[in-house]
Amino acid sequence: MTKETRPPIFPVAAGFLLPLILLFSVFLFLRGHHEPGGAFVAGMVAAAGFSLQTLARGAGATRAAFRRPPRFLIGVGLLLVAIVASAPVVVGDALLRARWLTWQLPSGGVIEFGSPMLLEAGVYLVVVGSVVTVIMTAMGE
């Protein structure tokens, strides 16, 4: 398919779909700790979204959306994972030991934030970066 013969519906629809897909991906990511979901699945959803975008509008659009090469995300993700994994060692704890912060809300609810969430964020970035890198490479980017 060359640029001239490509029907306009697909690219336009992809443009609307991408934000929704990414939102869904974030939803899956946050949900993962208590309900089915999680970093890997969320990352795959985001990657599928970007793949759709790449198919519809070409690699240039995706590259513009990323600003840096997508493989950059792999490095950031691995760095994050490495930091989360090794930070406990620095303070004399075991590798990957989880730490949790808990706030008791006046309404009775609880907000929790733990280092595994950072680990998940790293996994998410690596998954998105890897899949998008491979797809863009296959596209001839």
Partner 1 sequence: MGLALAVASGLVLALAAPWVCRHVPVHIAGWMLALAPLGGFVYFAAVAGSVVSGETVRFAVPWVPGLGIDLSLQLDGLGLVYALLICATGALVFGYAGTYMSEYERAGRFFAVLLLFTSAMLGIVVADNAIALFIFWELTSIASYLLIGFHNERGAARAAAWQALLVTSLGGQALLIALLLIGSAAGGYEISAWVGSRASIQASGVYPAALTLLLIGCFSKSALVPFHFWLPSAMQAPSPVSAYLHSATMVQAGVFLLARMHPILGGSGPWIVSVTLVGAGTVLVGSYLAVLQAAFKAMLAYSTIAMLGASALLLGIGTPIAVQAALFLAAGAVERGAGVTGVAESFGLWARMPKTAAATVLAGAAMAGLPPFLGFVGKERVYGAVIEAEAWVFWLVPVTLIAFTAATTVAALLALRPFLHADRSQVDDARDPPAGLWLPVAVLSGMALGLGVMPGGVARFLAPATAAVVQTPADLELTLWHGFTRPLGLSVGSIVAGIALFAVWDRWHDRMREHQAERFGPGRWYDLTIEALLRTARIQTRVIQSGYLRVYLMIALLTTVVLVGWAVLRGSVWEWQEAGKPQSYEAALAALIVAAAFAAVLARALVTVVLALGVVGFSVAIVYVLFSAPDLAMTQFLVETVTVIMFVLIFYRLPRMAGRPSHTAVVRDAVLATAAGGLMTLLLLATIAVPRYPEAAEFFLLRSVPDAHGRNVVNTILVDFRALDTLGEVVVLGTVAVGVYVMIRQTRRALRARSKSPPEPVSGEPGRPPAGHERSG
Contacts of 2 (CB under 8 A, 6+ apart): none
Q: Select from 30, 65, 85, 87 the one that contacts partner 1 (CB under 8 A).
A: 85
Q: Which of 65/76 has CB closer to partner 1?
A: 76
Report if residue 112 touches partner 1, rule: CB under 8 A.
yes
Which lies closer to partner 1 via its Cβ, residue 18 or residue 77?
A: 77
3-state helix, strand, coil in the chain (%, to 5): 65, 5, 25
SS3 per-residue string spanning 35-97: CCCCHHHHHHHHHHHHHHHHHHHCHHHHHHHHCCCCHHHHHHHHHHHHHHHHHHHHCCCCCCC
Consecutive H or E run containing 100: strand 100-104
Site for partner 1 (CB under 8 A): which residue of 61, 71, 72, 83?
71
Residues 6 or more apart whose Cβ sits within 8 Å of residue 21: 45, 46, 48, 49, 52
Closer residue to partner 1 in complex, CB, 57/133: 133
13-52 residues in contact with partner 1 (CB under 8 A) are 32-41, 44-45, 47-48, 51-52
Stretch that binds partner 1, among 9-17, 60-68, 91-99 (CB under 8 A): 91-99
Chain residues in the site for partner 1 (CB under 8 A): 32-41, 44-45, 47-48, 51-52, 55, 71, 74-75, 77-78, 81, 85, 95-96, 98, 100, 112, 114, 116, 119-120, 122-123, 126-127, 129-131, 133-135, 137-140
